[in-house]
Structure 1
């Protein structure tokens, strides 16, 4: 790869730059991050797009305006777009909303009264279950109806082979038959499909508690709370006795244990062999989100009953497609229950499949380069006087747990998190890497994790106490290491000396 000089990226620019389908957005200073969270200083005039589940895509805004005119929708209604008519039924059944008149479109449309608590509930629900309409679908619709005059140019795999290619690559990576894999329009929709499937199965056997083991991704926790009124959270994956004690009393009522390998953002790995043995003792299925590990870094086939992966991350590598996958382990008793899990997910839009099928062909090689760079960057940062704490797969506290499942010594992982001795705004503002939400990109991407994922907790003493109790430093910087020249990456960090 050619030498890279990292340059500032303007606030509001898409990441990747000049890509209308980008799922990340540049927020280059800590002041702008805080303004974004609090809606201050006209920040939303700069930031017009972002992670699609959290921020409405510009094309979806245009579609909503177009449909309002086309169907003469009264101004008191908000036009909310969904991935399918099945998703409309899900929202309608959940919130008892029904369109006051017929809207005939080949996608999901629901009308919700403006300026109501119901609207915010609906939007949050869509965010959590990941049934957003594709920006590529919106682009095609707007172009065909004369609202926009050009299409974003990108490389796509042929329609006839795209889905087969994608499933075959995932099947080979996970060592699973392709019929055990289902695609979803986002990673969160895959999570939703699994949890809905578990809930329908547990209704038949009276298991109605879901256990969350470890500090999981924000929306995974939200979906758990929504669908399992009885849920138990164990944030500390090293406190084995707490989980063992709980299962002695409630093990026969637990529907599943859900965990991430490794966790986000502290990159900690559970003792997976111990956890699997515990699950087997109580006949509990183990659900593993393998997004951060990737199937190329670890072998979890002997342990997981169900895998979930956000293909938006390392599988895509370019942060320009939302997609997820459910992988049922052929060794699990659930392998014959595909319909119970797969039926709840929406089918991704074909052009999204074409795009990610093109990008996933570089998945394995991309991970090799990212692993190499991450290992060398950790070695570099561990020697720097401005670094207070660094979290990575080989951190001493859980190094043995990760090594027990890694495919080989080079499988270091692509994520690290750092706490600094220096003031956080000084560190964050000075570095010229891409800065915004998401991870798994071929370009190095920084995220002020707690500010963007748990800003509400920063605002209260109770929230801050929870963060502190589980080593979630407010000023933690999550680094998704890219494929650039490692010497250039280190050179950028030299600015902090």
Structure 2
């Protein structure tokens, strides 16, 4: 498939971009090149590969695929999503300042505050749903703005284009964690972002069977920095994980349609339930960021957070402990539906006082809506909530 990916639609690129039938056998699927090293015809003369920490043909196919899906020039795969974040942060220097969303994945917060702050990188965490907070946080040392939208777990929406406009006037780079939305629903580079970060463990892989990360960019400078980090620090994904991620992206568009349909139906069901207090889903008209989400997303994703009218941790635990189809587990974005308690699970690394500041209460429940039959999902949540 040698045609320019930019001339094709998303679903075609999801299946074909970055790949072509194996020239030696005609195999349709990209082979798993399970090799650490490669023969050279003479010292320094090779076929593009020397050592698999640096690059691997299976990984190259995945990187081309992800770049096409994000409309980027470069895709760089990592051993995990946080390895990708780590590589980006290593592109900064002591004294640099980063403005980040204050509602974000707990692992990102832990990496920023526990790993990079001690090395002299300064972080400000602000509610980016109010653009004035971004403007007010900018200093002469601000080198990057870190955006999550929808945010994890409070499902806040950040106007990517508006943040990028602000950043451009100050010469600041913008990175968007696009894990929740995926490139199928949201294209941050088209809205002005410099880099897009993914935990490919989630929707891109889609089957809860890999740990993998990726950064996509059209900046040659950033791509060079990131590939240097892969080579030097060794956060390289294995070829089997890259193969499985390629398998995942082939059905991304089909899966995301079902994730969105199911989440929309469940959000409407929860909004009408007498024992549910607040439903956080950007597809609802009641969501404060709905209009911005509708502007920059083609649909609203498969993630929902909600609280109960009995706003106690015991009530939340009752629901969390009594689902059947929804599995109590961390992570998200797989074909199976998951339910979790952010305060004690995915966001436990964020101090309680910081969680309280942003409204992440101990009673908040987060669900990753899978692609099962909607009737079974609705019935499962209803019977669990009725136990409260």
Category of TM-score, reference length = shorter chain = 0.7 to 0.9
Alignment correspondent of 2:340: 447
> In structure 1, the residue corresponding to 2:363 is in which secondary structure?
coil
146, 149, 163: which one aligns with 1:258: 146
- Quote the Cα distance in structure 2 between the aligned partners of 1:213 and 1:412: 19
> In structure 1, the residue corresponding to 2:185 is in which secondary structure?
coil
Deviations 1:296-354 (A, max 9, x none): 011212221011101000011111101000111x2xxx334422122213321112222
**Structure 1 unmatched runs, 5+:** 1-83, 85-105, 109-159, 458-462
CA contact (8 A) 1:416 1:479 kept: yes
1:164 Cα offset (Å): 4.8
Alignment correspondent of 1:300: 188
After superposition, where does 1:207-356 map in structure 2 within 5 Å? 208-225=96-113, 226-228=115-117, 229-247=120-138, 250=139, 252-301=140-189, 302-328=191-217, 330=218, 334-345=219-230, 346-356=235-245
Deviations 1:82-139 (A, max 9, x none): xx9xxxxxxxxxxxxxxxxxxxxx999xxxxxxxxxxxxxxxxxxxxxxxxxxxxxxx
Q: Count residues in correspondence.
A: 319
1:424 Cα offset (Å): 1.5
The verdict on how the C-alpha distance between 1:439 and 1:416 changes in structure 2, with shifts beyond 3 A counting, is same
CA contact (8 A) 2:99 2:134 kept: no
- Quote the Cα distance in structure 2 between the aligned partners of 1:169 and 1:107: 19
CA contact (8 A) 1:255 1:285 kept: yes
1:494 Cα offset (Å): 2.2
> In structure 2, the residue corresponding to 1:181 is in which secondary structure?
strand
Q: TM-score, normalised by structure 2?
A: 0.77
Deviations 1:209-234 (A, max 9, x none): 12212312112122223224342323
180, 183, 191: which one aligns with 2:85: 191
Larger Rg: 1
CA contact (8 A) 2:204 2:249 kept: yes
- Quote the Cα distance in structure 2 between the aligned partners of 1:281 and 1:386: 47
- Quote the Cα distance in structure 1 between the aligned partners of 2:379 and 2:183: 31
> In structure 1, the residue corresponding to 2:306 is in which secondary structure?
strand
- Quote the Cα distance in structure 2 between the aligned partners of 1:464 and 1:359: 36
> In structure 2, the residue corresponding to 1:190 is in which secondary structure?
helix
> In structure 1, the residue corresponding to 2:292 is in which secondary structure?
helix
357, 361, 374: which one aligns with 1:473: 361
2:48 is equivalent to residue 163 of structure 1: no
Deviations 1:51-94 (A, max 9, x none): xxxxxxxxxxxxxxxxxxxxxxxxxxxxxxxxx9xxxxxxxxxx
290, 295, 305: which one aligns with 1:417: 305
- Quote the Cα distance in structure 2 between the aligned partners of 1:467 and 1:281: 32
After superposition, where does 1:25-424 map in structure 2 within 5 Å? 162-177=58-73, 180-199=74-93, 208-225=96-113, 226-228=115-117, 229-247=120-138, 250=139, 252-301=140-189, 302-328=191-217, 330=218, 334-345=219-230, 346-394=235-283, 395-407=286-298, 411-422=299-310, 423-424=315-316
CA contact (8 A) 2:106 2:348 kept: no
- Quote the Cα distance in structure 2 between the aligned partners of 1:337 and 1:291: 20
CA contact (8 A) 1:235 1:470 kept: no
- Quote the Cα distance in structure 2 between the aligned partners of 1:435 and 1:314: 18
- Quote the Cα distance in structure 2 between the aligned partners of 1:107 and 1:357: 18
Alignment correspondent of 1:40: none
Q: TM-score, normalised by structure 1?
A: 0.60
> In structure 2, the residue corresponding to 1:450 is in which secondary structure?
coil
**Structure 2 unmatched runs, 5+:** 1-35, 37-50
- Quote the Cα distance in structure 2 between the aligned partners of 1:444 and 1:295: 21
1:481 Cα offset (Å): 0.3
1:473 Cα offset (Å): 1.2
